[in-house]
Amino acid sequence: MSKQHFQIAVVGSGFAGSVMAMMAHRLGLSTVLIERGRHPRFVIGESSTPLASLLLEEISEEYDLPFVRPLCKWGTWQKQLPQIACGLKRGFTFYRHEFGKPFITDAERQHQLLVGASANEEIADTHWYRADFDHYLVTQAQNLGVRYFDETLLVNAREETTGMRLTGTRRDEPVEITADFVIDATGPRGFMHQALGLPEKPFAAFPSTQGLFSHFQNVGSLPESFSTPGQTPPYPPEQAAVHHIFPGGWIWVLKFNNGITSAGVAATDAVANELEFNSGEPAWRRLLERLPSLAEIFGSAHSVMPCVHSPRLAFQSGVVAGLRWALLPSAAGFVDPLLSTGFPLTLLGVKRIAGALKSGLRGSGFRRRLGEYAKLTLMELETTSRFVGSLYATMDRFDLFKELSLLYFAAASYSETVRRLGKPELADGFLLCRHPVFARQVLQICELANQPLSAEVAGELRQTIRQAIKPFDVAGLTDESRHPWYPAMASDLLRNARKVNASENQIQMMLARCGCKPD
Ligand SMILES: Cc1cc2nc3c(=O)[nH]c(=O)nc-3n(C[C@H](O)[C@H](O)[C@H](O)COP(=O)(O)OP(=O)(O)OC[C@H]3O[C@@H](n4cnc5c(N)ncnc54)[C@H](O)[C@@H]3O)c2cc1C
């Protein structure tokens, strides 16, 4: 039997596992990265956000990982790493569909919402084609000196006085790895959750949902009926994470620059069971038959791999860390692909765990920071589930859905801005979940939105949402004249400098640093 000891064992070599392992290595800790499969491989979860890109940028600087830096913006990615496929993401596009009817834009654009995330292509976000992206990162980890064992299936984890003992098989041979500390990056319901028999903790306010997804070729463009004659949208609507909303669920369409499109559906049990998601591709076809505009877009498309059915999307582990182990946020829980919250949540956690590792593996400082990490991770997952849960509750009340989405975008853009200004303490926690006023307002708003409301109360709620957004709105989201198209504009940041405790000059310098030109 092969037996080896490391200070840190990271289990799971998705992007998060590889990044975490490289950071631990940079901290001078002997690190092993263990993967049950082999790269390149398919994995879902592709659409990035400004906050995720920024966190990756921070990590590349702080931990001296310069080869990660080009992946933080579309422009640098295309110039320096064009061999790694990705998609251009200028924003978040939403269209509201009704079953049995084609999507047709009306003059007021009532059934759409476009929120720009970047002012131009150069600095835009991306969809990560994970087969290439993860393969690149795991290769870089090995180049750096991280030990890597692939095709290693771990089945047992035992906590001992000196560390953790992990056992399993590598290419059918028994393997045993001991480590002072284990970081689980194997995704929801992953290795440690199973091996330690951790409890599951259901979200307080989130419906049971299922997923069905695949990669496709020959996906068509949005038909003419999606455009608004005489008006130019803030960015090309398909250069985005495109969300097609229908009662009880939504479809994502993410286009990569290699001819592949990632598409799938997340829906409540009622919709998923009726369409029999467990039948795979036939269910996808049945759904498209109900959505004529999407049937047109996917008319000539074919899947390049079998459709994957996920019978339960949302998950939260009741315990996130022990004395000698921790689950990354992506292993501790998952809410829904809606709003692409997975990457930023994960990268925030990766940074926090690395921060804890800096205080040494044995001291009380490490234990304290790990405890804080665990608490905050659960709080952030719960907050995300409230936001996204309220969106599920309003998929058939699109006016309210749009306002609630703006609440999310306000918190996200505020958080990104204060981080870029070097003041992360102003947005402590994902989506301002520890802000004494905003967090309370979000809770109240989401609880109300989950209920059936009269037109009058719904109107009042929309006003309440706008009031809650205002103090944090650095992106023109409360400018009603823009509704429902919100471009990403440097002038909004300048105008709202005081909301982030900054001078106009500081904002100008920040914009120059991140390559954002005046509007
Ligand atoms: C349907 C769906 C859509 C999503 N879309 C988005 C999105 O658009 N944007 C976003 O931000 N997030 C999205 N997410 C969330 C996103 O997938 C995760 O946040 C992200 O993949 C986490 O990356 P990771 O590296 O932690 O784990 P993963 O990407 O899940 O990688 C885990 C790795 O661990 C390995 N592994 C598993 N078990 C073992 C074991 N026992 N031993 C060794 N290795 C093991 C696996 O083979 C895999 O390589 C989505 C999730 C789902 C389910």
pLDDT digits over 490-510, tens only? 999 999 999 999 999 999 999
- Categorize the per-residue pLDDT at 518 as very low, low, confident or very high, splitting at 50, 70 and 90: confident
Structure token digits, residue 157: 């984890």
Q: Looking at the CA of residue 47, tell me the nearest atom of ligand 1.
A: 8
Average pLDDT over every residue of 93-97: 98
Closest of 23, 17, 29 to residue 183, by C-alpha: 17
Diameter over CA atoms, the chain: 70
Task: Encode pLDDT of 153-169 as tens digits.
Answer: 999 999 998 899 999 99
pLDDT, mean over the chain = 97
* CA nearest ligand 1 atom 20, residue: 45
In our burial notation (b when 16+ CB lie closer than 10 A, e otherwise), range 396-435 reads ebbbbbbbbbbbbbbbbbbbbbbbbbeeeebbebbbbbeb
Centre of ligand 1 from the C-alpha of residue 389, in Å: 21
102 three-class SS: coil
- Categorize the per-residue pLDDT at 251 as very low, low, confident or very high, splitting at 50, 70 and 90: very high
Q: Looking at the CA of residue 331, tell me the nearest atom of ligand 1.
A: 26
Q: From CA 240, how far away is CA 255, in angstroms rounded? A: 8
Neighbours of 104 (CB within 10 A): 11
Centre of ligand 1 from the C-alpha of residue 480, in Å: 38
Q: Looking at the CA of residue 14, tell me the nearest atom of ligand 1.
A: 25
Q: CB–CB of 41/18 below 8 Å?
A: no
Checking phi first, is residue 11 left (phi over 0); if not, alpha (psi -120 to 50) or beta? beta
Residues near 377 by Cβ (< 8 Å), separated by ≥ 6? Answer: 320, 327, 329, 332, 333, 345, 349
Average pLDDT over every residue of 82-107: 97
Residues near 482 by Cβ (< 8 Å), separated by ≥ 6? Answer: 476
Whole-number pLDDT of residue 515: 84
- Provide the pairing of β-strand 302-303 with 147-149: unpaired
Q: From CA 377, how far away is CA 186, in angstroms rounded? A: 16
Q: Looking at the CA of residue 186, tell me the nearest atom of ligand 1.
A: 34
Centre of ligand 1 from the C-alpha of residue 127, in Å: 14
Angle at 372 between CA 371 and CA 374, to 5 degrees: 65
Centre of ligand 1 from the C-alpha of residue 147, in Å: 21
- Categorize the per-residue pLDDT at 362 as very low, low, confident or very high, splitting at 50, 70 and 90: confident
Centre of ligand 1 from the C-alpha of residue 441, in Å: 31
In our burial notation (b when 16+ CB lie closer than 10 A, e otherwise), range 36-50 reads beebeeebbbbbbbb
Structure token digits, residue 322: 């022990």
Centre of ligand 1 from the C-alpha of residue 324, in Å: 22
Centre of ligand 1 from the C-alpha of residue 410, in Å: 26
Q: E strands within 187-234?
A: 209-217
Q: Looking at the CA of residue 341, tell me the nearest atom of ligand 1.
A: 11
* CA nearest ligand 1 atom 19, residue: 342
Q: CB–CB of 266/336 below 8 Å?
A: yes
Average pLDDT over every residue of 350-360: 96
- Categorize the per-residue pLDDT at 2 as very low, low, confident or very high, splitting at 50, 70 and 90: confident
231 three-class SS: coil
List, in sequence order, every residue forming a beta bridge with 251; answer none if it has no partner: 244, 265
Residues near 281 by Cβ (< 8 Å), separated by ≥ 6? Answer: 214, 303, 306, 307
Q: CB–CB of 164/324 below 8 Å?
A: yes
Average pLDDT over every residue of 124-135: 98
Residue whose CB lies within 8 A of the most ligand 1 atoms, among 343, 377, 408, for a mutation test: 343
Neighbours of 215 (CB within 10 A): 22
Centre of ligand 1 from the C-alpha of residue 456, in Å: 42
Look at residue 517 and tell me whether its pLDDT is greater than 90. no
Q: From CA 431, how far away is CA 413, in angstroms rounded? A: 9
Task: Encode pLDDT of 114-123 as tens digits.
Answer: 999 999 999 9
Centre of ligand 1 from the C-alpha of residue 68, in Å: 19
Residue whose CB lies within 8 A of the most ligand 1 atoms, among 44, 169, 310, 351, for a mutation test: 44
Ligand 1 pocket by C-beta < 6 Å: which residues?
Answer: 11-17, 34-37, 43-47, 153-154, 185-187, 190-191, 211, 213, 264, 310, 313, 328, 330, 334, 337, 340, 342-343, 346
Q: From CA 287, how far away is CA 251, in angstroms rounded? A: 10
Whole-number pLDDT of residue 12: 98
Residue whose CB lies within 8 A of the most ligand 1 atoms, among 23, 35, 171, for a mutation test: 35
Structure token digits, residue 234: 């803030």
Residue type (1 letter), 442: V
Q: CB–CB of 445/404 below 8 Å?
A: yes
Structure token digits, residue 371: 């405890």
294 three-class SS: helix
Rounded (to 5) percent helix, strand, coil in the chain:
45, 20, 35
List, in sequence order, every residue forming a beta bridge with 333; answer none if it has no partner: 316
What is the pTM for the complete model shown?
Answer: 0.98
- If you search the block for the tokens 């070097």, which residue do you land on? 422
Residue type (1 letter), 338: L
Look at residue 112 and tell me whether its pLDDT is greater than 90. yes
Note if the bond before 247 is cis, omega within 30 degrees: no
- Categorize the per-residue pLDDT at 195 as very low, low, confident or very high, splitting at 50, 70 and 90: very high
Look at residue 3 and tell me whether its pLDDT is greater than 90. no
Q: Looking at the CA of residue 313, tell me the nearest atom of ligand 1.
A: 53
